[in-house]
A and B are shown apart, each in its own frame.
Chain A
Amino acid sequence: MNHYAVAAIYKFEMARTKRTLFQSIISPVISTSLYFIVFGSAIGSRITEIDGVSYGAFIVPGLIMLSLLTQSISNASFGIYFPKFTGTIYELLSAPVSSIEVLLGYVGAAATKSILLALIILATAHFFVPLEIAHPLWMLFFLVVTAITFSLFGFIIGIWADNFEKLQVIPLIVITPLVFLGGTFYSVSMLPPFWQTVTQLNPVFYLISGFRWSFYGVADVSLITSFMVMSGFLAFCLLAVTWIFKSGYQIKQ
């Protein structure tokens, strides 16, 4: 294991966060705070409790997931796309590093950044709503596994993208709608039966449900189902990344 290379990539990516502190940390915190103010305090004060949880507290796991997913994808996709764009990828391709080490560096840094951001948002939520976490270890587990999975997904997008528009298109037109329609702001039981069925096709719904369970012990679907969907998506991402490294798709001729 070339652990110096893993450390070099990881530190390099983390240093980029420091340089882009506003974009990486402050901007998502401000956006999430606005969600708490608008949905949690203003509108939420007029909505009754959902499954015994106040509306403001109910949306916290979903909002954390929204940031976690979008930031994991954004950090990892940009991390690998930027060297492709500038041409500095030559150094990575000519270095004595394995694909696992490259992944550990890029995906590890992207996941670390999004987990830190999620924890900051969680702390921010405390200012707006009373929070308690019923299963803190499960909460951390969901946080870490989701961050890793979607950072892997972001890495795939970064490899696939050959322009900045493609880099943005999946997070904007796929991930954000899936999170919004995955029960961030409501319980699936509040939807008409047809839309309940449609929601069950949305993989993000299972993540939010499982994550919300770790907070309040209530969920739209069983923990096992959430876990299986998450594992399935992680396995898909791992297979896709393995194929990318084997074939050299979009990185090596």
Chain B
Amino acid sequence: MQPIIQITDVNKIYDSGFQALNDISLSIKPAEIFALLGPNGAGKTTLISTICGIVNASSGQITVDGKDIVSGYRHTRELIGLVPQELTTDAFETVWATVSFSRGLFGKKPNPTFIEKTLKSLSLWDKKDSRMMELSGGMKRRVMIAKALSHEPSILFLDEPTAGVDVELRKDMWQLVRQLRNDGVTIILTTHYIEEAEEIADRIGVIKNGQLILVEDKAALMNQLGKKQLILDLKEPLVAIPSTMTDFNLQIKNEGLQLIYSYDTTKEHTGISALLQQLSSANIGFKDIKTDQSSLEDIFVSLVKEST
């Protein structure tokens, strides 16, 4: 499948000498949700800003829908909607005026019906005549999304879209993102919230110090790097692991009252049955049993630490 965005060997060195992007190459597939994770200052916003034309790349090439973002900027920018990280709005404008302005700026004929539909879908219709300064932070965030969607883009960049918003709005936004993806819109989002990426992303990229250190399907990533643990709450404290069970990857915790077995889910035999048999033979009883899988957050932290 032809990528909707193709980034090839892109570097960005600011006038101060700081290298924000270091040989970034990445392909974004049409109608996928791509989450870009990274610590503060990793280069997430610089990468988005470069694709959108806000920042000039020092070298490399970026194409959108097969067109170069510099020579074919009219076509590429028409396709892109951007929700920036900061709530940058003209405080004195009304919601209706600012969203209509965005549509015109991106070269679209005025369409009050579409603007109305967009505002309604974001629960902003009753605020259409309110000035931006009168809105709450969450409402302003919705307006930023409405502005980005006002020209019917086929690619949407969301830079930290749920930073500082309440749980309800966050879930509304996730729902909206999924709906847009179902409508064929490609979504690229940066986030600090790993659970956000875990919840909605199809693919995940991790960026650190301007370098893309990992790009992987979310499911494969979880599968490939995710460790699973079997946790047994023992009836009696265990002082040491019996010699018959030293082949198992076991740990004693909680003053001997918990036995933890780490195993690989990708292997044909996890060893759980054998372990349970050994426990029975050794007359080690347990009250409860549960499993735990390492989260994307664990994976992310481990990746970022590894690359340091």
Q: Which A positions have Cβ atoms within 8 angstroms of B?
A: 2, 4-5, 7-9, 11-12, 15-16, 19, 82-83, 86-88, 90-97, 248, 252-253
User: Assuming A86-B90, A253-B55, is B80 touching A91 (CB within 8 A)?
Assistant: no
Please state if A90 and B104 are interface contacts (CB–CB under 8 Å): no
Verify if B283 is at the interface (C-beta below 8 Å from A).
no
Please state if A88 and B106 are interface contacts (CB–CB under 8 Å): no
User: Assuming A96-B106, A252-B54, is B101 touching A8 (CB within 8 A)?
Assistant: yes
Residues of B within 8 Å of A253, CB to CB, are: 14-15, 55-56
Please state if B89 and A96 are interface contacts (CB–CB under 8 Å): no
Q: Write the nearest CB–CB distance from A210 to chain B, whole angstroms.
A: 37
Indicate which residue in A5, A16, A248 contacts B104 across the interface (CB closer than 8 Å): A5
Residues of B within 8 Å of A83, CB to CB, are: 90
User: Assuming A19-B92, A96-B74, A252-B55, is B107 touching A2 (CB within 8 A)?
Assistant: yes
Please state if A4 and B108 are interface contacts (CB–CB under 8 Å): yes
Known: A7-B104, A96-B76. 14 other contacts (CB 8 A): A2-B74, A5-B105, A8-B103, A8-B105, A86-B90, A90-B88, A91-B82, A91-B147, A92-B105, A93-B52, A93-B54, A95-B105, A95-B107, A252-B56
CA of A16 to CA of B54, assembled, Å: 25
Verify if B91 is at the interface (C-beta below 8 Å from A).
yes
CA of A9 to CA of B86, assembled, Å: 22
Please state if B82 and A94 are interface contacts (CB–CB under 8 Å): yes
User: Which single residue of chain A is at the shortest CB-CB distance from B14?
Assistant: A253
Residue pairs across A and B with Cβ atoms less than 8 A apart, 19 shown, are A4-B105, A4-B109, A11-B104, A82-B90, A86-B91, A88-B89, A90-B54, A91-B82, A94-B77, A94-B82, A95-B77, A96-B73, A96-B75, A96-B107, A97-B105, A252-B54, A252-B56, A253-B14, A253-B15
Q: Decide if the interface of chain A is mainly helix, strand, loop or mixed.
A: helix
List the 4 shortest-distance A-B pairs measured between CB atoms, nearest first.
A8-B104, A87-B88, A96-B77, A94-B52
Please state if B53 and A94 are interface contacts (CB–CB under 8 Å): yes
Residues of A within 8 Å of B77, CB to CB, are: 94-96
CA of A192 to CA of B4, assembled, Å: 72
Size bracket, chain B contacts: 35 or more
Q: Write the nearest CB–CB distance from B258 to chain A, whole angstroms.
A: 51
Residues of A within 8 Å of B109, CB to CB, are: 4
Please state if A91 and B105 are interface contacts (CB–CB under 8 Å): yes
CA of A104 to CA of B46, assembled, Å: 29
Q: Write the nearest CB–CB distance from B187 to chain A, whole angstroms.
A: 16
0/1 per residue, B43-63, Cβ < 8 Å to A? 000000100111110000000
Residues of B within 8 Å of A82, CB to CB, are: 90
Verify if B78 is at the interface (C-beta below 8 Å from A).
yes
Residues of B within 8 Å of A92, CB to CB, are: 105
CA of A32 to CA of B97, assembled, Å: 33
Verify if B30 is at the interface (C-beta below 8 Å from A).
no
CA of A9 to CA of B78, assembled, Å: 17
Verify if B130 is at the interface (C-beta below 8 Å from A).
no
Residues of A within 8 Å of B138, CB to CB, are: none
Verify if B102 is at the interface (C-beta below 8 Å from A).
yes
Residues of A within 8 Å of B91, CB to CB, are: 86
CA of A95 to CA of B75, assembled, Å: 10
Verify if B39 is at the interface (C-beta below 8 Å from A).
no
Please state if B82 and A12 are interface contacts (CB–CB under 8 Å): no
Residues of A within 8 Å of B14, CB to CB, are: 253
Residues of B within 8 Å of A5, CB to CB, are: 104-107
CA of A12 to CA of B99, assembled, Å: 11
Residues of B within 8 Å of A12, CB to CB, are: 93, 97, 101
Verify if B205 is at the interface (C-beta below 8 Å from A).
no
CA of A19 to CA of B90, assembled, Å: 13
Residues of A within 8 Å of B15, CB to CB, are: 253
User: Which single residue of chain A is at the shortest CB-CB distance from B131?
Assistant: A19
Q: Write the nearest CB–CB distance from A11 to chain B, whole angstroms.
A: 8
Verify if B237 is at the interface (C-beta below 8 Å from A).
no
0/1 per residue, B62-88, Cβ < 8 Å to A? 000000000001111110101010101
Residue among A12, A92, A94, A252 with max Cβ neighbours from chain B (10 Å): A94
Residues of B within 8 Å of A248, CB to CB, are: 56
Please state if B55 and A87 are interface contacts (CB–CB under 8 Å): no
Indicate which residue in B54, B75, B104 contacts A4 across the interface (CB closer than 8 Å): B104
CA of A223 to CA of B52, assembled, Å: 48
Q: Write the nearest CB–CB distance from B174 to chain A, whole angstroms.
A: 24
User: Which single residue of chain B is at the shortest CB-CB distance from A83?
Assistant: B90
Residues of B within 8 Å of A87, CB to CB, are: 84, 86, 88
Residues of A within 8 Å of B76, CB to CB, are: 96
CA of A83 to CA of B93, assembled, Å: 12
CA of A94 to CA of B102, assembled, Å: 11
Please state if B107 and A90 are interface contacts (CB–CB under 8 Å): no
CA of A96 to CA of B78, assembled, Å: 6
User: Which single residue of chain A is at the shortest CB-CB distance from B100?
Assistant: A8
CA of A12 to CA of B104, assembled, Å: 10
Residue among A86, A88, A93 with max Cβ neighbours from chain B (10 Å): A88
Q: Write the nearest CB–CB distance from B92 to chain A, whole angstroms.
A: 6
